[in-house]
Structure formats: structure tokens, C-alpha cells
Chains A and B, each alone.
Chain A
Amino acid sequence: MRSNVPSRGKRSIAVSVTLLCIAFAVIAISLNTGTIRLSPIAVLHTLLGNGSPDDQIVLFDYRLPRILITVLAGAGLGISGAALQGITRNPLADPGILGLHAGAALGLMVFVSLSYSMDGSIALLIPLFSFAGGVISALIIMLLAYDRHNGVSPIKLILVGIAVAAGFHALTMYLSLRLDEDTYSFAARWLAGSVWGRDWVHVQALLPWVAVCVPYIWSRSKTLDAFGLGDAAATGIGTPVRSQRIWLLLCTVALSAVSVSMAGGIGFIGLAAPHLARRLVGPMHRHLIPAAGLIGMVILVTADTIGRTIFQPNAIPAGIVVAAIGAPYFLYLLVRTK
């Protein structure tokens, strides 16, 4: 066991470096593709400040903010999924399936209904709205799934989550049918995971949340490992289970909600990324969380690139591409696990 730990550490570093390379490759491909193609050299030149004015506009005003959003949100979704699976001790937990995305989406729709604008500095408020929605749905789910005798059982959590998600969807639909047609189709695309039209202000809105939540969750890797032992054992080895769980949960909800607010309700990344990561680096959260984040990033950037290049002229939002690939993977997991 002892000899196993350093080798696992090395392995996890190797995996992370490989994933990082893949992520860079995917981001590079994504930067190149689009209605206006930029060659890798042109991208490099432009990034260094020597590009033609046209290239600069395409890259800095359109493509870069959009890709940064998918990078941050993909990592956010992957990490929040890993943390949620750790907190709930449920390998099938996913912020989307548990209904957190539905809450975040409702928050977003409330924002759209109130303001009719998602650009400019007001966009900085979007994450707050979806965070509030996410917290409300998390509270409702926890409250309903909690049992005085057995705590929160994984099965009940999923069943209640599914139902709460249905309720929140109905509310979202109620608000969305009252919008005029243009705003509606804009909001529908946004919710389905289209990152078209993201601006630097949206990057600004998302970045601080990710910058706070991700390091916090990572710094609590040991606690997440301890949760896996069960509450009694975790308390026994000195983990303040209750308070830690609340903080971690809050951070997880925040991370998934703000990712949804900026990239749309993209399911299955929170489920698939931690699973793939666990296969690659094992169950220790110290290794698992960075790997899950990188995998989430790769999935979302790839899905966005596929959605906007293959399906022309009407780009398919990344969330739909992810669902079309992710749902079969989830079902495969469901069939495999006892």
C-alpha cells in the first residue's frame, strides 16, 4: 500500500500532463476552426500581437472569449461532478441529474425575464441569479431526501433530484413562454449550451467563481476521501463531517451553477469526467479533481467545436452534442455497476 502511493502520484502527474497536452491541442483546433479559418501560425502571430487587424478581431473579440468560457465551464462542470460524487458517496451523482442545473437554469431565466439583456456589465449578475437557483434546488433536494434515521440515501437523492428537476423545468418553461420569440430562442440556445456571442464580460463574470471554488474544493481532497469511508469513520478520524459537507456542497453548487449560467445546462460532463478520471488516476481526490477538470474541459471544448463546425448553418449547442454522446455512456455505466 505504501509503495503504491508514490507511483500513483507519478501516474497522476503523467496523466495530468497528457491531458493538459490534449486540452491544448483541442483548444488550438477550436481556435483554428470556424466560419473564418485561421491557420495555427496566424493564431500564434495574433496572440503575440503581430496579427492582421482582421485576425485580431476574429480571435480576440469572438473566438477567445468563447473558448475561455468553454474551458472554464468544462472544468467547472467536471470538478463539481467529482466533488458531488465524493460528497454524496454516489458514483452516479451528477449536478444535472440531481436537479442543480434545473435550478441554475431557472435562475438564469428569471434574470432574462427581468432584464432582457445578457450583455454589458449587468452580465456580471448572471452567475448570482443562477447560483441562487442552484442553492434553492439543492436545499429542496437535501431537505426532501434527508431522513432522520438513515441520513441522505443515494437512491432517494436521485429520485428526489429527478422530480425536483421536473418541477423547476416547468417553472422555467412558464417564464420562457412569456418571452418574445427572439429572446426566447436566444435563451433556449443559451440554456442548451450554445456559447455563441460570449464576450469578455462573461469571462469576467465566470472567472472569479472558478478561481475561488476550484482551489477550495481541491484543498479539501482529504475530506472528500474521508467522506468515502462513511460518516461514522470520517468523524472517527477527526473530520468535522457536517460543517465540511455544507461548505463543500455550497462550493460544488456554486461551481456547477455558474458554469451553467455561462455555458448552459450541460449534463453528463459532471458524470462522465469523474468516471474517466477515476479510471486513469484512481479514487484519491487529490489526483481525481484535476484530472476530472481537464477531462471536462476537453469534452466541452470538443463538443462546442463539433457543434459549430459540423452542423452548419445552424450550429448545434454543445450541450446537445454532449448529451448525444454522454447519455449512452451514462447508460453503459448504469448497466455495468451493481
Chain B
Amino acid sequence: MFLSAIAILLISLFVSISLGAKSLTLETVWDAIFQYNPALTPHQIIHELRLPRVIAAAVVGAAFAVAGALMQGITRNPLADTGVLGINAGATFMVALSFAMWPGLSYAWLMGLSFAGAVLSTVFIFLLGSAAPGGLTSMRLTVAGAVIAAMLSSLSTGVAIYFDLSQDLAFWYAGGFGGIEWRHLRLIVPVLLTTLLLTMPLARRVSLMSLGEEVAMGLGINIRLTRLLALTAVVVLAGVSVSAVGSIGFVGLVIPHISRKLVGVHYRLIIPMSSLLGAILLVLADLGSRIVNPPEELAVGIMVAFVGVPFFLYLARKERRAL
């Protein structure tokens, strides 16, 4: 199962690099990657344009998918997703603010602010959920998240309108890998890959959490600590990804479900599977967004939503008892 997923990922990576506004043969792609020659234009296209965006799509896809899987595990809510829960909206709001206040901010700062926005909205949502009598229920968390998301995206719109950057922000928000360069990758890839690797040891705890808090507590799991660690990972993954490519929803919702179908209920398998499938999904979505109507590009977030929404509806219909 994993081997075939890896194989599919590699194939999609190669296909995605070779297809586009200018089609290139696989041989050129191979040469450009392994025997890079800056003097050749096709090599340059691949090295400067295609390769960074494809790598970004793969890494960010994995990050969104794993963030969604962790969210679903610790909240026991099959519809949880960093987009639905307002984490992406927090990151987006900070990005909108920095677009307005400090235009031309360096990418590292933008990433940091976006991450801070994700942290703030997450902390806020959890504090609110926990302040209520009866504690943090999955229902309360979801509703609080949706409301925070509504408020923050509305405030982002306000900032955008007040500072006249509506469509700039809308394009960025809808997601896209077009502007990704190597200097961005040098920042996001190490952070995301490290976080993804660090989530693996959490998998067992999350599996037990997903059985219910009583069960997890009975088995000696420190629920608060597990939740804190998992949330930290989620916030890093979502905050950094949003800063790079905008708010791409549904990856974190759909991919964990497919993984669960393929490899069962253990997060030790779900998390790696989710990262592979998330990478495949976004690489293909990015490819799709480039070749649907060249030379114009469709925003990746929309591309994903076109696949994600019907799937989600199917899921909500089918797993009604789980809701």
C-alpha cells in the first residue's frame, strides 16, 4: 500500500514537472534534475519554475493532510480540518494585516506572522471551548472554530477593503504555487518536514485519544499533554503552509478519511499515509490548475474544493452515524 502510494507520488511529481505551459520530454526533466545545465532554457524552466512549485505542493499537501488527521484524531470530529476550525483564518488574518501595514515584508517575517496568527486563533478557540461548563466537547470546538473563522475572514476582508488590496488578497487566499521560489522553500521545507517527522511518535497517543477520552485516560495517556503536542504540530503545519500558498481547505478533511479507508484506524499508519496522499493530491491539483486553461492558472484552493466538496458531501451522507 505504502509502496504504491510512493510510486504514485513519484510518477505525479515527474508528470507535473514535465507538463505545463511548455511541455517537456521526460528525458529533459531527468537531465534537468540530475545533470542540471544552467545554459539550457528547458533546464532553467524546470529548475527555477517547475521544481520549486512541485516540491512546495508536495510538502504543503503533506502538511495540510497531516494537520487535518491530527485534528480529527484529537477532537474525535470526522469533519475537523484546519480550515473549518479557524486556524487557517487566523493565519490569513495576520497575512492580510501585514500586507496592509508592512508591504514588502520579507518572507521569513510573513511566515512568522502567519504562524503567530494560527497560534492565536487556536489558543483562543481552545480557551473558549474549555471555559464552558462541561468542558471541551467536539461539538463546541467545531462551532467555536467556525465562528472564529467567520469573524477573522470577515476582518481580513475589512482590512483588504480598507487598504484597497481586495483582489491581491483574494488571489493569495485562494491558494497558488506560482510565486514559490527556492528561497521560500529553504524556509518552509525544513520546518514542515521536521514537524511532520516529529508527529510520528505522537501517533500512538492520538490513536488512543481517537477512541475517546475515558479510554485514553484509562490507558494512562496524558490527555492535556497529547492535545497540546498535537495542536502545536497542527499550528506549525497549518500556519507555515498558509503563509506560503494561501488557505487551501479540504485537503485536511478528505485525505485522512481516504487514508483511514486504506490503512485502518491506527494513526501510526494514517499519518504517513495521509502525508503521501496529501502530497499526491496537491501535486495533481497544482498540475490541473496549470493545464486546465493555459496560460492562465486556476487557483489551487478552488481546484481542491471542486474535488473536496462532492467527496465531503458523500462522506457526510455515508458516515452519518459517526457525526
Interface residues of A (CB under 8 A from B): 92, 96-97, 140, 143-144, 147, 155-156, 158-160, 162-164, 166-167, 170-171, 173-174, 176-177, 181, 184-185, 188-189, 192, 194, 267-268, 311, 314, 316-317, 319-320, 323-324, 327-328, 330-331, 334-336, 338
Contacts and interface: CB of A to CB of B under 8 A. Distances in A.
Given A144-B317, A173-B174, A173-B299, A159 B148 contact: no
B260 interface: no
Interface string B25-57: 000000000000000000000000000000000
Contact of B313 (A96, A140, A317): A140
B217 interface: no
A162 B151 contact: no
16 contacts: A144-B313, A144-B320, A159-B79, A159-B142, A162-B79, A163-B312, A170-B306, A170-B309, A185-B161, A188-B160, A267-B154, A314-B164, A323-B154, A327-B150, A328-B151, A330-B147
Contacts of A170: 249, 301-302, 305-306, 308-309
A319 B302 CA distance: 24
B147 A97 contact: yes
Given A140-B313, A320-B158, A327 B148 contact: yes
B133 interface: yes
Contacts of B162: 311, 314, 316
A331 B313 contact: no
A334 B155 contact: no
A151 B300 CA distance: 37
Given A92-B143, A166-B249, A316 B320 contact: no
Contacts of A163: 79, 84, 253, 312-313, 316
B202 interface: no
Nearest to B312: A163
Contacts of B302: 170, 173-174, 177
A324 B150 CA distance: 10
- Best-buried of A189, A314, A328, A331 by chain B (most CB within 10 Å): A331
A296 B253 CA distance: 35
Interface in B293-323: 298-299, 301-302, 305-306, 308-309, 312-313, 316-317, 320, 323
B39 to A, nearest CB: 37
> 9 closest pairs, A vs B, by CB?
A170-B305, A327-B151, A167-B309, A323-B154, A320-B158, A335-B132, A174-B302, A185-B166, A162-B146
Contact of A314 (B139, B161, B173, B305): B161
B167 interface: yes
Interface string B158-176: 1011111011001101100
A97 B150 contact: yes
B134 interface: yes
Contact of A160 (B154, B174, B301, B316): B316
Interface of B: 77, 79, 83-84, 128, 131-134, 139-140, 142-144, 146-148, 150-151, 154-155, 157-158, 160-164, 166-167, 170-171, 173-174, 249-250, 253, 298-299, 301-302, 305-306, 308-309, 312-313, 316-317, 320, 323
Nearest to B298: A174
A34 B43 CA distance: 59
B161 A316 contact: yes
Contact of B154 (A189, A319, A338): A319
A327 B147 contact: yes
Contacts of B77: 159
Given A162-B146, A327-B151, A156 B320 contact: yes
B301 A317 contact: no
A188 B166 contact: yes
Given A170-B309, A319-B154, A334-B140, A185 B323 contact: no
Given A170-B306, A311-B162, A184 B170 contact: yes
Contact of B170 (A155, A160, A173, A320): A173
B144 A177 contact: no
Contact of A155 (B146, B150, B323): B323
Given A144-B317, A319-B154, A335-B131, A176 B309 contact: no
B86 to A, nearest CB: 10
Nearest to B140: A334
Nearest to A164: B313
Given A267-B150, A323-B155, A324-B151, A159 B174 contact: no
B184 to A, nearest CB: 22
A177 B154 contact: no
Contacts of A314: 161-164
Contacts of A188: 157, 160-161, 166-167, 170
Contacts of A334: 128, 132, 140, 143-144, 147
Contacts of A174: 298-299, 302, 305-306
Contacts of A192: 154, 157-158, 161
A144 B79 CA distance: 13
Contacts of B171: 177
Name which of A97, A176, A188, A328 has the most chain B CB atoms within 10 A of its CB. Answer: A188
Nearest to B162: A314
